[in-house]
Structure 1
Amino acid sequence: MSYESPELSGIKSDYSDADHSYTGTKIISTGIIINTGMVKKAPAGYHDLTGAEYKDQLVMPSPLYSGAAAYNLGVLTRTKGLGWDFYKALKANNVSVQKGNGTVQKAVLAGQKSCGIIVDYMALREKAKGSPVDFIYPSEGSLTVTEPIGIVKSTKKADLAKAFVDFILSADGQQATSEIGYTPIRSGVKAPEGFKTVDDIKNLTYDLPELVKTRDSDKEQFSKLFG
């Protein structure tokens, strides 16, 4: 059901459905994880990963397996200065394409690869534990996704459901989001240590209906490129 929570005033419109059927609850950014024991100079952004120093050293999740990676593919191939040439350069650099973010995390932690493309919390939680890794928000911008909340039309407890949505989106609810290790989606709420706040993240995105329309063809082209 459509519900325009009064708490939406603290949340950017990018992260809320236009008809208020759902709203994001947290920000999950994709960026670059590095093994600090292996990388002498950290890459500033995605383009740096095509350099000779990262040949045979990069690992990334496959858009054929990961939904977030498929979204990333759609955006990056439509970003000025990157595009399909970026993926072709990664292919030439012998990037390792694995199933999901967990495999990327393990490869960099183990020193099998020096860097990878990964979601923020999987890198920064390991850093907080003392692992020799760091996370870079790319200079080109961050690819962000969220986990939405909404109310089903058939609910018989609409008032309770609305109250729950209000809490999740409130400052207190978003502080709880931060405390469990995610970037709050609400402006003005402090992010966990090492994370950027929603106001500090440069959101790299593209027209969502267009990405949905071209998702299968993008994946097909990726499959042809990487085999």
Structure 2
Amino acid sequence: MYKINLVVNEKEVYYTHRSDSTAFSSRSVMTPGGKLELWQLNMVNREWMPDLTVPVDYCDNYGICGPYGSCSTSTFPNCECLKGFELKSSLEVNPYNSTSGCRRSRPLDCGDGEGFVKFSSMKLPDTQNAVYDGSMSLRECEIVCKDNCSCTAYANPNMTTSGVGCLRWFGDLIDVRVYALNEQDLYVRQAAFELSGKVNTLNFERVYSSYNHCYNFSLFL
């Protein structure tokens, strides 16, 4: 039986995998091109067979949409800014080269009106600038994050443990993407103005559409 286990603690987040069968062998290979290949040994002819290669798609590339950008393979362009954020540069209109990312449409002021917007079906951001507490509930996690002005987002990475576990980010959110079949929620800190619902946020798709219109117009000049 092949088992995959998610390990979350105060120092790191990672996956482990193992097989209970002694008649099973696998190996991992990092290619010069930066791809990770997983191979399984065919126990009949003793030949190595490819099992999985990552990245699988465009959004598997690390940080492809930049800070506060979200990648989705079901949309075009693949990158767009999270709600409450806008492109860092209005000149960057190539949907396949968006690594400069996004910035807040409205700055945070650590006021009472600040809160969090829930994004569902997400791959959580890179955890390099995150801390984990395994004893907190999701509600406790929200309170602790809101009380710290440097806390930009929070989530419960342990979806199978009745909501226990608090992962908090401090700084930019990198490598976020949409997983349609994933039930992981990410709560991102927003300014009070954004939570009022009065702002019409900018995203990559609208910028690209505007650029495309201008480009087509220039052909007739």
TM-score tier, shorter chain, comes to under 0.3
Name the structure, 1 or 2, with higher relative contact order (CA <8 Å, separation 6+): 1
The TM-score with structure 1 as length reference comes to 0.25
Bigger helix fraction: 1
